[in-house]
Amino acid sequence: RVVYPDTTAPVEVVLTAYDYFRMGVAEFAKMRWSACIFDEAHKLKNHRAKLYEAACELPQTRRFGLTGTAMQNSYDELFNLMDWACPGCLGEKKPFKLFYCRTMQQAQRFDVDERTLGLGRQRADALSRLLKKYLLKRTKAKVLAGQLPVKQDNVVFCELSPLQTRVYRRLIESADFQVLVRHAELCDCGSGVQRSRCCYAAPTGPPEGAPIWHSLDHDTHVGRGGEPMCPYCMCLLCINILAKISNHLELLKPNPKDPPEKFERDHAVAKLAFGEDAHLMGSVDRVDNNYDRMAAATNCGKLLALEKLLALWHRANDKVLLFSCSVRLLDILETFLVRRGYVSCRLDGNTPQRERQKLVDDFNKSSSLFIFLLSTKAGGVGLNITSANRVVIFDPNWNPALDLQAQDRAYRIGQQRDVDVYRFLTSGTLEEIVYQRQVYKQQQSNMALDAVKERRYFEGVQGDKEHQGELFGLSNMFALASENVRMQELVARENRAARDFYRIEKVGHASAGNEAPLGAKRQGRGGGGEGE
């Protein structure tokens, strides 16, 4: 549908949405455009996507892309975007990846030799020089310098509580998780075949004690090319369960409103997870599923950290935005705040559109409203909450771009006070691994775009099976602290100077009971959050 302005003059500018453009590309391609501008140009990262193909139909001269993330996950994305904007500017893809990316990634490993390191840095410089011809970089910090106060990113590493640790360990040692982690090992029956093709093959799987496995219909799990998808079919479920434990144990509570199969599975998982600790919550089998005894902050590393930080901030007259992706977690947090006597308001997906602005205005005006509870999805867009100077992201998103949007609620024009952002992570768990991957990707991006000399923290190389190191691979994801190389140790072993820069102070059980100053790990470059 084309809307023409009420004038006889020829149309000079066409403004369109991607869907309409994609569907009407034949019409668009007929016209002689002087320039094409693509907002959110990171949508052009996949050269197989329909939108990408359509965008390539446009004239090759004067293509412009605007984006905050030229490279989010891989060098492929960067290449595709640049190759669309200025066809051929980076040459052919294969030699590009071999010459620049492989060398730079290998040089980023922790245990790399001097020669590879030198070569990697040379290539990073060369790539950065090449990109500068085509890429104009503007950061919020630079463009709006003087108009915006300072934003500080912090990562708060919380310890799992002893109960959380036991629950976490019970699960990763359970039959379900072991099917996943050890699927490629040779089968215990001595057949010489790997486990997932032998005694643990779908649909039979492990005999018992595997409620997740047995809740799935493995007969239907076949890929498009006929390849088996099991046991990978369990990945997301397993990840979500571990994430729940990291955030709050009460999230394991089965919801009677769920469909019966899901309720049954959640109940079986909770039973398995709590094991001999079940009495601590008044038994998992009670009909009312009362997990009240879980609510104590001492059972939750993140709540304990939050409790301490809130006490400090309340005294300092700060105002806090508290974000969570999950409505159930918001419920838990709200109950917690009420019990502590803090005045808060709340906005989530269920808040009617017309009431949202009023909530925001009230919060901005009122001096007694201390905390604003927000769901990342509903609160992440279109609100202007400039009275808050502390932002807590209780359960970080797997996609850091969404967390950035959340931070920007408070960090925008009109903001008077400096803003501190706190991302809560439980150390040693899956959350920390995901965080490390984000840091790794951000480092790769910084190296490519700016030739920044990043510290070499990691042994893993993305997409390289020989060098999975501590970052990539299933067995690393489903492991716990002691079996894992942790961020703090990685930082410490780099050099002592790094330790001064990264103030490593833990908020959580390690400091519980003493009055040590509360701190959070300060992030250097590479943690994201530069806010382009």
Angle, helix 114-132 to helix 430-450, in steps of 10 degrees: 60
Supply the minimum distance, in Å, between the C-beta of residue 221 and Zn ion: 4
> Closer CB to Zn ion, residue 98 or residue 189?
189
Residue 122 or 194 with smaller CB distance to Zn ion = 194
Tell whether the torsion through CA atoms of 101, 103, 108 and 109 is positive or negative: positive
Residue closest to 402 by CA, chosen among 375, 425, 422:
375
* AA letter at 293: R
- CB of 433: closest distance to Zn ion in angstroms? 23
435: how many CB neighbours lie within 10 A of its CB?
Answer: 21
- Identify residues 130-189 at the interface with Zn ion (CB under 5 A): 187, 189
Q: In terms of CB distance, is 262 or 493 closer to Zn ion?
A: 262
**Closer to Zn ion by Cβ: residue 199 or 280:** 199
Binding characters for Zn ion, 47-66, by CB under 5 A (x = yes): --------------------
**How many whole angstroms separate alpha carbon 434 and alpha carbon 423?**
13
Q: Give the shortest CB-177-to-Zn ion separation in angstroms.
A: 14
Residues 279-298 binding Zn ion (CB under 5 A) are none
Structure token pair of residue 236: 């997301």
Q: Can you give the length of the chain in residues? A: 532
Taking CB under 5 A as the binding criterion, the range among 48-56, 57-65, 229-237, 370-378 that sits at the site for Zn ion is: 229-237
Stretch of 135-143, 190-198, 245-253, 352-360 contacting Zn ion, by CB under 5 A: 190-198
Comparing CB distances to Zn ion, the nearer of 82 and 234 is 234
* CB nearer to Zn ion: pick between 214 and 218: 218
Among 51, 86, 135, 198, binds Zn ion (CB under 5 A): 198
Q: φ and ψ at 520, to 5 degrees?
A: -135, 160
197 is a site residue for Zn ion (CB under 5 A): no
Smallest gap from Cβ 229 to Zn ion, in A, equals 6
**CB closer to Zn ion, 204 vs 399:** 204
| Smallest distance, Zn ion to C-beta of residue 173, A | 20
Question: Which is nearer to Zn ion, 126 or 198 (by Cβ)?
Answer: 198
Exposure string over 468-505, b if 16+ CB within 10 A, otherwise e:
bbbbbebebbbbbbeebbbbbebbeeeeeebeeebebb
Asked if 191 interacts with Zn ion (CB under 5 A), we say yes
Residues sharing a CB contact under 8 Å with residue 429, sequence separation 6 or more, in sequence order: 160, 168, 242, 245, 246, 480, 481
- SS3 (DSSP) at 521: strand
Q: Which residues have CB under 8 Å from 201's CB, separation 6+?
A: 230
C-alpha to C-alpha distances, 416 to 85, 147, 422, 531, nearest whole angstrom: 38, 9, 19, 18
Residue 369, classed as helix, strand or coil, is: coil
Q: What's the min distance (Å) between Cβ of 208 and Zn ion?
A: 16
Contact between 233 and Zn ion (CB under 5 A)? Answer: yes
Among candidates 277, 392, 385, which has minimal Cα distance to 336? 392
Q: Does 221 bind Zn ion (CB under 5 A)?
A: yes
CB of 209 to Zn ion, least distance (A): 17
Number of residues counted as binding Zn ion (CB under 5 A): 9
> Which residue's CB is nearer to Zn ion, number 218 or number 253?
218
Q: Which SS3 state, helix, strand or coil, does residue 67 take? A: coil
Q: Which of 1-9, 33-41, 220-228, 328-336 is the region at the interface with Zn ion (rule: CB under 5 A)?
A: 220-228
Taking contact as CB under 5 A, which single stretch among the options 37-45, 198-206, 351-359, 365-373 is the one that binds Zn ion?
Answer: 198-206
Single-letter code of the amino acid located at 490: L
- Binding interface with Zn ion (CB under 5 A): 187, 189, 191, 198-199, 218, 221, 230, 233
